Chains A and B, each alone.
Chain A
Amino acid sequence: MERRYFLKQSALASSLFFIPGFLKAFENSHPNNFGYKRLVMIQLAGGNDGLNTVVPFTNDDYYRNRPKIALQKNDLIPVSDSLGFHSSLLPLKNLYDQGNLTVINNVGYPNPDRSHFRATDIWQTASNSNQYWQTGWVGRYLDAYGSNAYNAIEIDDSLSLLMKGENNNGIATQNPTNLFKLSQDPYFKNVLNHYNDEHLSEHNLGYLYKTMIDAKSSSKYIFEKNKIASNNAEYPNNQFANQLKTTAKLINSGLETRVFFSSLGGFDTHANQMNSQKRLLEIYASSIEAFVNDLKKQGTFNDTLIVTFSEFGRRVKENAGNGTDHGAASNVFIIGNQLKKQGFYNELASLSDLDSNGDLKYTVDFRTIYASILQNWLAVNDEQILQQKFSPLSFI
């Protein structure tokens, strides 16, 4: 049965009968309704050094392994008895103090892969490390619950695996005006106006037409919503901040988008890590600060959850070039106003009991975070989307 038809029928039936929870989520999906939940995923691409982001300043192993690049206690923003934030993260400390931040330590998965590409694929598809999946977990969410490409938007020029499903995909746009212009060529309009959809199900050709029709209407919808919305905060002037600025505008416009995705690159700090990580974390934190303020002012922060991850952390021991090599488990930041467990979700793993590569051992599987978000935030069937059963965590 066609999904659209199915949803329509179900909506019709819902006034009379009981309907499953996941359909209800879409039923009440009008964004002006209270409780239209959104998820913003952010990837710190390149492998952020989690240990110099949230620093165990009382841990001897930390200082022993990093004689040159360890951060000293008085350079940090103290947060707990044993952990401090990198000095670039003052805005995150503020969120922490307001109960809007949860830090989950040691997030990873069994047999971690240390290639950027593979590790990114694993995080984006939610596969095991020995599986090569061709759909992203957000893409599978769209397969099961989405109706249009704009239900998931990546702020970029092309679509990541994260947003690709078997039958449905999200849409990528760095600049809604450019995308709109590209898609609105009068020739396409004429072709699609004449198009006879009697054979819409026709294998591949039908799929091409269907995707184009959706792309054209999605880019138009995004463009028009974006045009009337505005930003209510001052953003720093950099590309990542611009991405969040666009995201905020789209959220505040009431666009029916469940998931947004952006990434900030450059974290592959094999050499001279100190300066580059400081600069990158500053870009990250100041942009997040503006973004959260923007959402708060326009009343959309309550219904937005911001999740920041990196494809892996870095080796505990520093290398010869004042940097660090590819590692494994690392921290994930959850930002929002509905957090059940605020602050540090769990303890940092041991720095003496490492895996055979000298990396942190994971204690939280990243897919349990996805399961929590799917089940408790987006109110959908997590097992169907993740294709495995994971016990959700209690942070949300």
Chain B
Amino acid sequence: MKTKQLQHLFLRTGFGITPQLTNDLSKKNKKKVVEFLFTTNSFLPLEMDLSDLSIYTQEYMKDRANLMEFQRKSNEKIRDFNKLWMERLANSEVLLTEKMTLFWANHFVCKNQNIFFVQRYNNTLRKNALGNFGDFVKEISKEPAMLNYLNSRQNRKKQPNENFARELMELFTLGVGNYSEKDVKESARAFTGYNYKFSGEFIITKYHHDDDLKTFFDKTGNFSGDDIIDIILKQPQCARFVCEKIYRYFVNDIVNEKHLDELTSVFYKDYNIEKLMKFLFLKDWFYDAENIGTKIKSPIELLVGMQKMVPFSFQNTKDVLKIQRLLGQVLLDPPNVAGWKGGKNWIDSNTIILRLKLPSILLSNAEISIKEKGEFEDSFEKYHASNKNQKDFAKVTVDWDFFEKSFKNISFDEMKSLFLITAPNEGTETYLSHLIKSSKKEFCIQLMSLPEYQIC
């Protein structure tokens, strides 16, 4: 496979590709590479030690003070889990599963304050990331975090709460306009009585469940929640809706209807996510120029992508959270059930400045070299002497050795192409050519500090 194609594939299915792997895989053809992507995938749950929370039993938390204490500790653990997830993204071998997990987290958007439920939900996403979409939706509908988030527990026979039923169709399966208000009302009745035990185990409270006939998409029956999901899956629109989201995330913000049709017909057959993704990555059009280097990286893609090239780790959880917050994407803390909009929406005056400045802040003491050929003075010393705030921004441990090793045999020109998936702006290209290229470290920072580096 060509280097650009490999880079493209790995930016979309992961967070970029190292020079070594580029070298190894460039000898293989597309089919072999895609196979490689799928063979390295297995389910590896992301878990943290929660044993110190075992004292918080149901009985113990009847005391309000204990409950509040648990909530405080739980929130702290959720922040640690965020950091752990970031580390998983940066270091994982099971690339595609992790990228898909991130994708699904912004599809089945959910938020919870109980770390046990948060961890469980996160692993449900991971486990089903390449599985069967129908099973996936059914599991999601029974997750304690989701039952909580979309008020399923308040959904009772006499007083239905339509929140979950509505979002199930609007955001998870069909999209707005592809169902009626009556469908929302009737399907909400099928999910009445959904509940969970203290342990998180799903139960249906018989007493609150509506057992009467429901009419949904012109079918009448004594439907359960799972039946409703099966009827939804029969609508071709469901396959189309999910494929469109996958297309926008993995291929292009702008949808090519013909290509979407191809995906939809593959997916509708059996809702097998793995098959769909394999089909997509083998398609020639996936590698068309119009699909390469056209998307704006999400904050997480930006951060993790940097780590792929220059491994670094944050010393403190609070720094991870701070940076995510300033960039506009805090993992496990989506803005609302519609999730992050993505694309241009990531970018405003503040985030663009921080995005461009972040590589130097994290990796090189906030300094970006501007030494040009034929110049002997450090004209930027004055500027850099005064930016103490920036230097204290976050504590990181950087593994420059890894970088030096992996770029040892790579030329400056090759570096440019490995860091930037898109051809630089003409003027920027000229400017880069004027810069003195004596240090690969410096050049790496310079490349990462460009608007072009925001693109994937």
> Do they bind each other?
yes
Q: How far is the CB of B147 from chain A (nearest CB, A)?
A: 16
A134–B344 touching, CB < 8 Å: no
Contact indicator A191/B336 (Cβ below 8 Å) = no
Q: Is the CB of B425 within 8 A of A211?
A: no
Complex Cα distance A161/B427, Å?
34
Q: How far is the CA of A65 from the CA of B451 in the complex (A)?
A: 58
- A193 and B434 CA atoms in complex are apart in Å by 13
Chain B: CB-nearest residue to A175:
B389
Q: Give the contact stretch, choosing among B239-247, B348-356, B410-418.
A: B348-356
Contact size range, A: 35 or more
Select the stretch in A96-104, A178-186, A300-308 that faces chain B: A178-186
User: Knowing A121-B335, A134-B338, A178-B389 touch, does A212 contact B451 (C-beta < 8 A)?
Assistant: yes
> B325 touching A215 by the CB < 8 A rule?
no
Q: How far is the CA of A178 from the CA of B360 in the complex (A)?
A: 16
CB pair A211 B349 closer than 8 Å? yes
**Minimum C-beta distance from A389 to chain B (A):** 22
Structural contact, B452 and A205, CB atoms closer than 8 A: yes
> B417-437 vs A: 1/0 string, CB under 8 Å?
000001001111011000000
Please give the distance in Å from A211's CB to the nearest CB on chain B: 5
A208, CB-defined interface residue at 8 Å: yes
- Chain B, interface size category, equals 35 or more
| B387 touching A181, Cβ below 8 Å | yes
Minimum CB–CB distance for B429 against chain A, Å: 9
B172 to chain A, nearest CB (A): 13
The answer to whether the Cβ of B195 comes within 8 Å of any Cβ in the partner chain is no
A149, A179, A182, A199: which has the most chain B beta carbons within 10 Å? Answer: A182
Chain B residues with Cβ below 8 Å from A173 are 350
Partner of B390, one of A121, A182, A194, A212: A182
Is the pair A205, B349 in contact by a Cβ cutoff of 8 Å?
no
Report which residue of B325, B336, B338, B449 has the largest number of chain A beta carbons within 10 angstroms of its beta carbon.
B336
- B326 partner, pick from A157, A181, A207, beta carbons under 8 A: A157
Least distance between B217 CB and chain A CB atoms (Å): 21
Inter-chain CA distance A205–B343, complex, in Å, is 11
When C-beta atoms are compared, the residue in chain B nearest to A161 turns out to be B335
- A184: B residues at CB distance < 8 A: 383
Chain B interface: which of A164-172, A231-239, A251-259, A278-286?
Answer: A164-172
Interface residues of B in 362-397 (CB under 8 A from A): 368-370, 379-380, 383, 386-387, 389-390
Minimum distance in angstroms from A263 CB to a CB of chain B:
15
The answer to whether B296 touches A204 (Cβ under 8 A) is yes
CB of A143 within 8 A of chain B? no
B425 near A195 with CB under 8 A, answer: yes
Interchain nearest-CB distance for A254 vs B (Å):
20
Question: Which positions 290-325 of chain B face chain A at CB distance < 8 Å?
Answer: 294-296, 325
Q: Is the pair B352, A212 in contact by a Cβ cutoff of 8 Å? A: yes
Bound together, the chains give a CA A228 to CA B53 distance in angstroms of: 55
With A190-B431, A208-B296 given, is the CB distance from A164 to B345 under 8 Å? yes
User: Given A158-B326, A181-B386, A196 and B350 touching (CB < 8 A)?
Assistant: no
Whether A191 and B428, one on each chain, are in contact in the complex, defined by CB atoms closer than 8 angstroms, is yes
Q: Which of chain A's residues have a CB closer than 8 A to the CB of B380?
A: 186-187
Confirm or deny: A159 has a beta carbon within 8 angstroms of a beta carbon on chain B: yes
Do A190 and B425 touch across chains, with their CB atoms under 8 A apart?
Answer: no
Interface contact A159-B348, CB-CB below 8 Å: yes
From B64, B338, B343, B427, A321 is in contact (CB under 8 Å) with B64
Chain B residues with CB under 8 Å of A199's CB are 425
B33 at the interface (CB under 8 A from A): no
Contacts of A178 in B (CB 8 A): 389
Q: What CA separation (Å) do A188 and B357 show in the bound complex? A: 9
- Taking A158-B325, A158-B328, A182-B357 as contacts, is the C-beta distance between A196 and B426 under 8 angstroms? yes
**A377 CB within 8 Å of chain B:** no
Q: Could you tell me the distance between the alpha carbons of A204 and B389 in the complex, rounded to whole angstroms?
A: 31
- Report whether A196 and B357 are in contact in the complex, using a CB–CB cutoff of 8 Å: no
Other-chain contact of A187, B343, B449, B452 (Cβ < 8 Å): B449
Q: Are A207 and B428 CB-contacts (below 8 A) given A132-B336, A178-B389, A182-B354?
A: no
**Residues B255-296 near A (CB distance < 8 A):** 294-296
Contact A195 B349 (CB under 8 A): no
Verify B349–A171 contact, CB threshold 8 A.
Answer: yes
Using Cβ atoms and an 8 Å threshold, which residues of chain B touch A218? 349
- CB neighbours (8 Å) of A204 from chain B are 253, 294-296, 343-344, 455
What 8 additional pairs, Cβ within 8 angstroms, besides A173-B350, A211-B352? Answer: A161-B335, A167-B344, A170-B348, A181-B386, A186-B380, A191-B450, A198-B426, A203-B294
What are 27 A-B contacts defined by CB distance under 8 Å?
A117-B336, A118-B336, A121-B336, A132-B336, A134-B345, A149-B349, A163-B348, A164-B348, A172-B349, A179-B353, A181-B386, A181-B389, A182-B387, A182-B390, A184-B383, A185-B449, A186-B380, A195-B425, A196-B428, A204-B253, A204-B344, A205-B452, A209-B451, A211-B347, A212-B353, A215-B352, A219-B353
B residues neighboring A (CB under 8 Å):
64, 166, 253, 294-296, 325-326, 328, 335-338, 341, 343-345, 347-354, 356-357, 360, 368-370, 379-380, 383, 386-387, 389-390, 422, 425-428, 430-431, 446, 449-452, 454-455
Q: A interface vs B, CB < 8 Å?
A: 117-118, 121, 130, 132, 134, 149, 157-159, 161, 163-164, 167, 169-173, 178-179, 181-188, 190-191, 193-196, 198-199, 203-205, 207-209, 211-212, 214-216, 218-219, 321
